Amino acid sequence: MSITAVIFDLDGVIVSTDEFHFQAWKRLADEAGIVFTRHDNEALRGVSRAESLEIILAKSKRLWSQDEKNRMMETKNTYYRDSLQTLSPQDILPGVMRILKELKQAGVAIAIGSSSKNTPLILQKIGLASAFDAVADGNDIQKSKPDPEVFLLAAQRLGKSPAECLVVEDAEAGLMAARSGGMRVLGVGGAAASALADLSAPTLATMEVQTLLKGDLDAEEAVGLPAMS
Ligand code: B16
Ligand code: MG
């Protein structure tokens, strides 16, 4: 079935807020005396705030009460939202604006599917609050990636079946969510090497829309396809 909708992850795909997440968790972990590295941070990509905290606390030597956990999540979110204040349209990652424009020109529906409860703030800061046909985010869902809920909701809001959708993701949890929701998936950044990706690209800057809409060809195979009008 041809691809008539593209669902974009937000953090790490549209904008590099993944680095802000890392800095905020790192500050919290340092304050709690827990060792937390960039390598550890890879496991947090795409998963919810509460699950991220559990992954970090699993490295700690003591048990934490639910009250303490709630306070830690609040503190991390304050650090994170403070760093979002500097966000602007200039932070949109290379290739994104071109791809969104070309998809719209081709009549392809576009949506956001993000685990983040901060999605509305981020979209507003980067000037894309009304750029998408649908947005599904951490405020709408019960189960975070790798569960497919957020992508299925985005597809439903677009009026599309999963088979018509391609997801763009930077996280292994997101690739798993897309695949288990019955969608094709383009892995970018760290997810480009994943065996779960139907298509991959180091960055969207080098991705052609005609390749993306083929859904299951790699860039070399798609070279020579006629340009889209
Ligand atoms: P928040 P995505 C995810 O966004 C992030 O990758 C993940 O690191 C974060 O824990 C999660 O959002 C929740 O974010 O604390 O802002 O609700 O990659 O699904 O766009
Ligand atoms: Mg992401």
pLDDT in tens, 85-111: 999 999 999 999 999 999 999 999 999
Q: Which atom of ligand 1 is nearest to the CA of 115?
A: 19
Distance 224 CA to ligand 1 centre (A): 37
9 is catalytic: yes
pLDDT value at 228 more than 70: no
The span from the CA of 199 to the CA of 70, in Å, is 38
Place of tokens 């599309």: 160
Model confidence at 216, pLDDT cuts 50, 70, 90, reads low
Predicted confidence at residue 61, as pLDDT, reads: 87
Predicted confidence at residue 221, as pLDDT, reads: 42
Q: Give the orientation angle of helix 17-32 with respect to helix 49-57, to 10 degrees.
A: 40
213: nearest Cα among 179, 186, 188: 186
Model confidence at 223, pLDDT cuts 50, 70, 90, reads very low
3-class DSSP assignment, residue 56? helix
The span from the CA of 81 to the CA of 145, in Å, is 21
How wide is the angle at C-alpha 189 spanned by C-alphas 187 and 191, nearest 5°?
Answer: 45
Q: Is the pTM of this model over 0.75?
A: yes
Per the CB < 8 A criterion, the answer to whether 125 and 87 are in contact is: yes
- In order of their start, the domains of the chain are 5-16+90-214 (3.40.50.1000), 18-84 (1.10.150.240)
Q: Give the orientation angle of helix 17-32 with respect to helix 66-84, to 10 degrees.
A: 140
Average pLDDT of span 205-228: 64
Query: Which ligand is the nearest neighbour of the Cα of 121?
Result: 1
Ligand 1 binding pocket (C-beta < 6 A) is 9-12, 18, 21, 44-49, 52, 77, 114-118, 138, 171
167: nearest Cα among 194, 139, 143, 141: 194
Q: Give the orientation angle of helix 49-57 with respect to helix 66-84, to 10 degrees.
A: 120
Model confidence at 1, pLDDT cuts 50, 70, 90, reads confident
pLDDT value at 23 more than 90: yes
Strands laid side by side in the 165-169 sheet: 134-136, 109-113, 5-8, 165-169, 184-188, 199-201
Predicted confidence at residue 3, as pLDDT, reads: 96
